[in-house]
A and B are shown apart, each in its own frame.
Chain A
Amino acid sequence: MKDPLIDRQLPLFIPHSSISTAVNKTGSWRFFHPKYEEKTAPCSAACPVGQDIPRIEMLASRGQLKDAWQTILDENPLPAVCGRVCFHPCESACNRDSMDDPISIHHLERFLGDAAITGKIKADLDPRPSTGKKVAIIGTGPAGLAAAYFVARLGYGCDVFEAASEPGGLLRWGIPAYRLPRDILEHEIARIENAGVRIHCKFSVNGRLLENLKKDYDGLFVGCGYARSFMLNIEGEEFASDGLDFLNRLGVGEKISYFGTAAIIGGGNTAIDVARSLGRIGAAPLIVYRRRIQDMPAFEPEVAMAAEEGVRIMELVAPIRIRETAGDSFSSLPGYELTLQKMKVSKKEISGRARVIPDGDETETIAVQNIFVAIGAVAEDLWQFPDSEEAKSLRLSHCHFFDQKIPLIYGGDLASPVKSVTDAIASGKQAAMALDTYFEHGTNAIEERLAGCRVGAGPALSMDVYLGKDRKNRTAHIVNYDEIVSDYFQSAARNVPSTLDAGQRIRSFTEIESTLDKNAAKEEAGRCFNCGICASCDYCRLYCPEMAVMVENARRSINMDFCKGCGVCATECPRNAMALEEEII
């Protein structure tokens, strides 16, 4: 017996609406609002040229290799060179180190640089229209090349003068081929020339020519480096060879060989390069250094590699005398007696390094077959700074600017506080910005204009920011590891390319490190947190309870009609590319 009353419908009064919930403007509840606020990655701030590393790795991880490479070129014309020789302070600053290991930033830079060379990729040049002005650049080392590349991009005619027979400066004559193969350098220079830079080799600038250049050009950049080596000022100095000269001779392809012990006096990168090169041509290198090994200004990995290759280091000894010894053909080789004063560490420190003083009268004499001096160098007299009373001058982080008849800028080792290839490039870029600002707004505008282009709070400058591109919107705040939502990232081993072992290395000048393969590079780039920049991961949109995050043309924005200010998006952003701000009522 069915009773129809059983299932008779009751009045049902529940909240129900067929119109959109969009009428409920939850934005009116808001006390805080989120915003997309890209910040500065610690690697970028640590990079002397301020490369946009988080973006480079993001593009590389997606396989957009050309875009990644172009992003390097925006700030640095020499990726394949820097990927090899830069001391990569970026990696020391990398937040990933707090999780497992830093990103192999320099290996990735090299991979991108090499991929462009082997793939014969042409850079998309986007120079500003010609200004009608032209700039002369003296020296084709990293500073001169960078200055030329950037002034050309800013719309200036550009001639570069090089005294040597081929361009490259220190890159060609100072860095051994096992660290920087010549063909790589030539590809990079060729690309800079293709960008509209004219290089004139065997053009040695003397005082008279310099005056002519000042007449013919609207601006001048000097990046000649330190070409004149320091002297030992001890008895028998004439028996010692100049380390830089030795590297030059190797660089031009001279076939040289040595045997027996070769003493190298000095503790900088040049001393290490000389020692490691000597080991490759038959000598037994022995570095003689007046301070302790930990005080050596040479980059630590280079010192370690030298030791692996059999380079011996005597620390706390200073040369005081060299005497020629005839030797006899039976018991000893002809050569020199090198007398060394023993040193000891004084309690006082000078700028972080231990000060050393003679340890009484104690000396030691060693027998060596050759002696090389690599204790630093200075600029030629011609490149001493003009008397600043005669010209208005401006001290920039990597350059020295003089307002004479025309603007005259000294860069590279002549002006950089840190003597490195990448700092030299930074000075070339800074000079280009300073010249351009000078021509547009005069000397007084330079400091403020350049300060606005800083990456983070550090000295590195960004050409992208200078040109008013998107990067200018990033804040100077440097993202730290605590601001990364590490739950979104999994631990993964750092990818490094294979290297020759010490036994293979000392037999030739073959390059020691190889380039990452494509898969390893993509994987390595994928390890990057992309600190502070939006990587389009979309977690902000997925987690928004009001569906207030909108994406249009791959750009995200927040619909303030509905954002109730809960902050979930900003809190979940894995890489701190968002911020939460109190609502001003």
Chain B
Amino acid sequence: MKKVLEGSHAVSEAARLAKVQVIAAYPITPQTHIVEALSQYCSDGTLKARFINVESEHSAMAAVIGAASGGARAFTASSSHGLAYMHELLHWASAARLPIVMAEVNRALGPGWNIWTDQTDSLAQRDTGWIQLYCEDGQEVLDTTLQAFRLAEAVNLPVMVVLDAFYLSHTFEPIDVPDQETVDRFLPPPSPRIRMDTADPCAVNQLVTPAAYMEMRYNTQLAMEEAQRRLVLIEKEFETIFNRTHGLVEAIQCEDAEIIMVTTGTVTGTCRQVLADLRSQGVKVGLFKLKLFRPFPADLICRHLKSAPKIAVIDRNISFGAGGIFAQEIRAALCNQNPHPQVFGYVAGLGGRDITPDTLVEIYNHTKNNPAPAEETIWIGLNQETVESWNN
């Protein structure tokens, strides 16, 4: 049934339909609407879950780790500083192989204090062992959240469903909300492989010496690699039931493209329009949407990008001293291809600054007009007056 929902509530609806059993969260803009709706569902009985109020995000993650250790389907949501505060427990959740699902609304980190969208918060957690899926619109958010539970439980790894602040979290769109029966067919109740039980006492996650630690890490790496294959299968099954699919990545008109724009999140939607406009002018441009970031789909990236002469990667994030994070990773994935494309890295739209069709056209033109990138990272849309004033 189609409903007009904001992106945050697309997450809430998916968590409700997934029949999560434990939710623990601490409010933070722009995530709050997600758990606000869920707490309402818990209190009015719509959702038979235990909602644990906690005093911090650190405790929220600890609580869902506890719940998942007991075999419960557990969910939380956070943003920005809240996510940063969870950091050590993010490592714990993945190493303990707990199938937790978290919605993470991309928000800039302070100072300067800023509540608008920026991907640096989730990308700072890139090495914690969480699967990361970047969504483009409300429907994808809902569908991906449902798939996330299936994926997490299939490979025993936690999944982060990532959505842009405001552009997605607070924007209302018509979204198809499936009925419970259909969802139940796709997502059966959990049959946890890790389930602590007082009747069968055991110790978990105790000291591991150098003699076994590396194998433990290798086992997690194998699960991460497997996650990409499983997500393909899950998407297929999802498609047979719901008649929709989003893909791990999406390559649009990349086959003959001279320049391929690489986007994540809501910028993809804007870029679809720019692509249509440029193609109508006879320009050979392509669009590559990167949704799955961890595990990193290097094979898909190479397959779709290696033949193009130029790639323009748009990063709404910054790793200081290195550049946009997606650009670095794509560059690394392509470097052993021979020949390989020139990879232009663009940093744009930090802290919620708009990335408009004009911004994307400017990026296209810059890529077209330069045979090779003059520098690792090109900052787009900087106020030159401000920058120049620093030199006076």
Instruction: Report the Cα distance A200→B172, complex, angstroms.
Output: 103
A1 pairs with B240, CB closer than 8 A = yes
Instruction: Report the Cα distance A24→B208, complex, angstroms.
Output: 12
B193 pairs with A15, CB closer than 8 A = no
Per-residue CB contact flags for chain B residues 128-147 toward chain A (1 = under 8 Å, else 0) read 00000000000000000000
Cβ of A382 within 8 Å of any chain B Cβ, yes or no, is no
Q: Which residues of B contact A9 (CB under 8 A)?
A: 193
Cβ of B237 within 8 Å of any chain A Cβ, yes or no, is yes
B206 pairs with A15, CB closer than 8 A = yes
B97 pairs with A14, CB closer than 8 A = yes
Further pairs besides A1-B236, A2-B237, A6-B154: 6, Cβ < 8 Å:
A3-B236, A10-B223, A11-B222, A17-B202, A17-B206, A24-B206
Cβ of B194 within 8 Å of any chain A Cβ, yes or no, is yes
Q: Which of B97, B200, B203 has the most CB of A within 10 A?
A: B203
Instruction: Report the Cα distance A13→B216, complex, angstroms.
Output: 6
A3 pairs with B156, CB closer than 8 A = no
Cβ of A21 within 8 Å of any chain B Cβ, yes or no, is yes
For window 9-36 of A, CB contacts with B under 8 Å fall at 9-21, 24
Instruction: Report the Cα distance A1→B97, complex, angstroms.
Output: 28
The 8 Å CB contact of B205, one of A2, A6, A14, is A14
Tell me the minimal C-beta distance from A220 to chain B in angstroms. 70
A21 pairs with B233, CB closer than 8 A = no
Tell me the minimal C-beta distance from A7 to chain B in angstroms. 5
A1 pairs with B208, CB closer than 8 A = no
A contacts with B: majority SS: loop
Tell me the minimal C-beta distance from B236 to chain A in angstroms. 7
Binding site for B on A (CB under 8 A): 1-3, 5-7, 9-21, 24
Tell me the minimal C-beta distance from A431 to chain B in angstroms. 62
Tell me the minimal C-beta distance from B126 to chain A in angstroms. 22
The 8 Å CB contact of B234, one of A6, A19, A21, is A6
- Contacts A15-B205, A17-B203 known; A10 to B150 CB distance under 8 Å? no
Q: Which residues of B contact A2 (CB under 8 A)?
A: 237
A-B interface, 6 closest residue pairs, ranked by CB to CB distance from nearest: A13-B219, A1-B240, A17-B203, A18-B202, A21-B203, A6-B233
Instruction: Report the Cα distance A5→B231, complex, angstroms.
Output: 11
Cβ of B388 within 8 Å of any chain A Cβ, yes or no, is no
Instruction: Report the Cα distance A2→B202, complex, angstroms.
Output: 34
Binding site for A on B (CB under 8 A): 95-97, 150, 153-156, 193-194, 200-208, 215-216, 219, 222-223, 226, 230, 233-234, 236-237, 240
B154 pairs with A7, CB closer than 8 A = yes
A14 pairs with B216, CB closer than 8 A = yes
Tell me the minimal C-beta distance from B218 to chain A in angstroms. 8
Q: Which residues of A contact B207 (CB under 8 A)?
A: 15, 24
Q: Which residues of A contact B96 (CB under 8 A)?
A: 14
The 8 Å CB contact of B208, one of A5, A10, A15, is A15
B contacts with A: majority SS: helix
Closest chain A residue, CB of each to CB of B220: A13
Instruction: Report the Cα distance A55→B97, complex, angstroms.
Output: 52
Q: Which of A7, A9, A14, A21 has the most CB of B within 10 A?
A: A14
Closest chain B residue, CB of each to CB of A13: B219
Tell me the minimal C-beta distance from A475 to chain B in angstroms. 37
Could you pull out 19 A-B pairs where Cβ atoms are within 8 angstroms?
A: A2-B237, A3-B236, A6-B150, A6-B234, A6-B237, A7-B154, A10-B222, A13-B219, A14-B96, A14-B204, A14-B205, A14-B219, A15-B206, A15-B207, A15-B216, A18-B201, A18-B203, A19-B203, A24-B206
Q: Which residues of B contact A3 (CB under 8 A)?
A: 233, 236-237
Q: Which residues of B contact A5 (CB under 8 A)?
A: 230, 233
Instruction: Report the Cα distance A19→B202, complex, angstroms.
Output: 7
Instruction: Report the Cα distance A317→B222, complex, angstroms.
Output: 101
Instruction: Report the Cα distance A16→B150, complex, angstroms.
Output: 24
Q: Which residues of B contact A16 (CB under 8 A)?
A: 202-204
Closest chain A residue, CB of each to CB of B213: A15
Instruction: Report the Cα distance A14→B218, complex, angstroms.
Output: 11
Tell me the minimal C-beta distance from B215 to chain A in angstroms. 6
Tell me the minimal C-beta distance from B301 to chain A in angstroms. 24
Closest chain A residue, CB of each to CB of B153: A7
Q: Which residues of A contact B97 (CB under 8 A)?
A: 12, 14
A14 pairs with B194, CB closer than 8 A = yes
Instruction: Report the Cα distance A27→B12, complex, angstroms.
Output: 48
A13 pairs with B237, CB closer than 8 A = no
Q: Which residues of A contact B234 (CB under 8 A)?
A: 6
The 8 Å CB contact of A11, one of B203, B219, B237, is B219
Instruction: Report the Cα distance A14→B223, complex, angstroms.
Output: 12
Instruction: Report the Cα distance A253→B207, complex, angstroms.
Output: 83
Instruction: Report the Cα distance A15→B209, complex, angstroms.
Output: 10
Closest chain A residue, CB of each to CB of B150: A6
Tell me the minimal C-beta distance from A1 to chain B in angstroms. 5
Instruction: Report the Cα distance A10→B221, complex, angstroms.
Output: 12
A21 pairs with B206, CB closer than 8 A = yes
Tell me the minimal C-beta distance from B18 to chain A in angstroms. 15
Q: Which of A7, A17, A20 has the most CB of B within 10 A?
A: A7
